[in-house]
Chain A
Amino acid sequence: RKEVEQDPGPFNVPEGATVAFNCTYSNSASQSFFWYRQDCRKEPKLLMSVYSSGNEDGRFTAQLNRASQYISLLIRDSKLSDSATYLCVVNKIVGGSQGNLIFGKGTKLSVKP
């Protein structure tokens, strides 16, 4: 299994749609999980951290399933401005300690009018 694996995409959805992204990670000892957003030719920016209990920020909901080593991101009521690549990010375990971040390849979302 790859360290961080995401849906290949691209996702092409109409405005107002609900879209879900999935991500799996290989190391069960990882403790830090994030979703980043990267616009075309721009740097990645933190969208939200992902907590064990699940968390919501407006139209965005992130969930973590440690047993399945699975992370999800749900976007409700998609806007044109949500069009971007969404990166699943998990921290690496090095010698039993929490290490640096590993980025997935990203899933491209295109919201159409």
Chain B
Amino acid sequence: ETGVTQTPRHLVMGMTNKKSLKCEQHLGHNAMYWYKQSAKKPLELMFVYNFKEQTENNSVPSRFSPECPNSSHLFLHLHTLQPEDSALYLCASSQWQAGGPTDTQYFGPGTRLTVL
């Protein structure tokens, strides 16, 4: 399945590095999401974009910086991360309808990030 793709799949970086995660959705959706999944914790929603506009930032540290150039692409720019930021970062997309019920989200395979 290639509805939502993410690159890279694995990333090891030092605390002083700058890197970016990329997500692309081929489903024609208008909303995209970044989630963080750490061991033994539920998925944590980080950022939401509807129609390319950021609509939610769940108190995410500024060392994570999202970018959504169009409704099909989403980036997560990483800068001076900490070892506790090591996790699986998942991108998802959905078709958002104003005033409607929350629609199903489709996930990419994730980027497994290790911060040394």
Q: A32-B102, A105-B42 are in contact. Are A100 and B107 (CB under 8 A)?
A: no
| Chain B window 72-116, contacts with chain A (Cβ cutoff 8 Å), 1 for yes, 0 for no | 000000000000000000100000000111111111111010000
Q: Is the CB of B102 within 8 A of A99?
A: yes
Of A4, A43, A92, chain B has the most CB atoms within 10 Å of the CB of A43
Task: Kindly identify which residue among A32, A87, A104 contacts B101, using a CB–CB cutoff of 8 Å.
Answer: A32
| B81–chain A nearest beta-carbon distance, Å | 21
- Chain A nearest Cβ from B11, distance in angstroms: 15
Q: Is the interface of A mostly helix, strand, loop or mixed?
A: strand
**Majority secondary structure of chain B interface residues (helix, strand, loop or mixed):** loop
The closest CB in chain B to the CB of A32 belongs to: B102
**Are B104 and A46 in contact (CB-based, < 8 A)?**
yes
Number of interface residues of A (CB under 8 A): 24
Q: Are B101 and A46 interface neighbours, CB within 8 A? A: no
Contact A100 B109 (CB under 8 A): no
- The CA of A106 and the CA of B42, in the complex, are separated in Å by 7
Question: How near does chain B come to A83, taking the closest CB pair, in angstroms?
Answer: 18
Which chain A residue shows the least CB distance to B104? A46
Subset of 13 A-B contacts with CB under 8 Å: A31-B102, A32-B101, A32-B102, A42-B110, A43-B107, A49-B104, A87-B42, A87-B43, A92-B102, A99-B102, A101-B105, A105-B41, A105-B42
